[in-house]
Amino acid sequence: MEQKLSRQVALITGASSGIGAGVAKAMAASGATVVLNYPVDATRPAAEAILADITAAGGKGMTCQADVSKEDEVVRMFKDVVSAYGTVDILVNNAGLQRDSAFTEMTLDQWNTVIGVNLTGQFLCAREAVREFLRRGMQPEKSRALGKIICMSSVHEIIPWAGHANYAASKGGIHMLMQTISQEFAPKKIRINAIGPGAIKTPINHAAWATPEAEAKLEELIPYGRVGVVEDIGAAAVWLASDDSDYVNGVTLFVDGGMTLFPGFSTNG
Ligand code: BGC
């Protein structure tokens, strides 16, 4: 059966857990061949387990190691994917992490680690993806676009976040990286957009929803009244990768239960 992403190869960075794993499952269920990137050997079993779930559900794909903050590893990963599957059609620039700290205590290492993975990693992967799209050329039987890139941003691309200066700076940077390269490559029929997740139940924010009290406090920030799940992001990613969004370029789609509506102002201001 023809599905939204049939015959397309989707590379998802940081797919061994959290949102990346959820997006990989959603794209595989929509017919894509998925490449599950994981950063280091220690995370390989987790990536293999996600791939096993995907193949058990009738999907297909492979895992691929690369630390996205390292140029040589990113270049090698794209070579591996192209030699395995011929090309890449969709890049989900998802790999990201937090190294939280009060600003006055923040070390350069915490700053560099977050900027390196979250922002430089997205630059390196997007650059290799665009190079591959241009090399491969149009394949109209697969998609109306030459290629699609989805940058995983955050509500913190617009909401300042005390104690997380490195993370918020990386997400603000992703916004301008995404829009600038979208402007540069829309004429070549490459669609580049972002998703801005709000609070989604994953390991990155476990403490924020691990107890009923914590979850209730978190929900004060979410007008829609529930913490998100990775399936919420997976569905948005499939839409942004498919021709259903063919006229969508350079936007951040917030998937956040209304977190960016500044709910504090509903009873103040
Ligand atoms: C962060 C989470 C946080 C959420 C809402 C995300 O980008 O990674 O830790 O819960 O934003 O603040």
Domains defined for the chain, CATH in brackets: 9-256 (3.40.50.720)
Chain segment 58-113, per-residue pLDDT in tens: 999 999 999 999 999 999 999 999 999 999 999 999 999 999 999 999 999 999 99
Distance from Cα 185 to the centre of ligand 1, integer Å: 29
pTM: 0.98
Chain segment 18-70, per-residue pLDDT in tens: 999 999 999 999 999 999 999 999 999 999 999 999 999 999 999 999 999 99
Active site residues: 167
Quick one: DSSP state of residue 228?
Answer: B
Give the strand order in the sheet containing 90-93.
Answer: 60-65, 33-38, 9-12, 90-93, 147-152, 190-197, 252-255
Distance from Cα 167 to the centre of ligand 1, integer Å: 9
Degrees (nearest 5) of the Cα angle 147, 125, 2?
Answer: 35
Q: Is the CB of 158 under 6 A from ligand 1?
A: no
Q: Is the CB of 25 under 6 A from ligand 1?
A: no
Distance from Cα 249 to the centre of ligand 1, integer Å: 24
Q: Is the CB of 218 under 6 A from ligand 1?
A: no
Q: Is the CB of 221 under 6 A from ligand 1?
A: no
Position 211 scores a pLDDT of 97
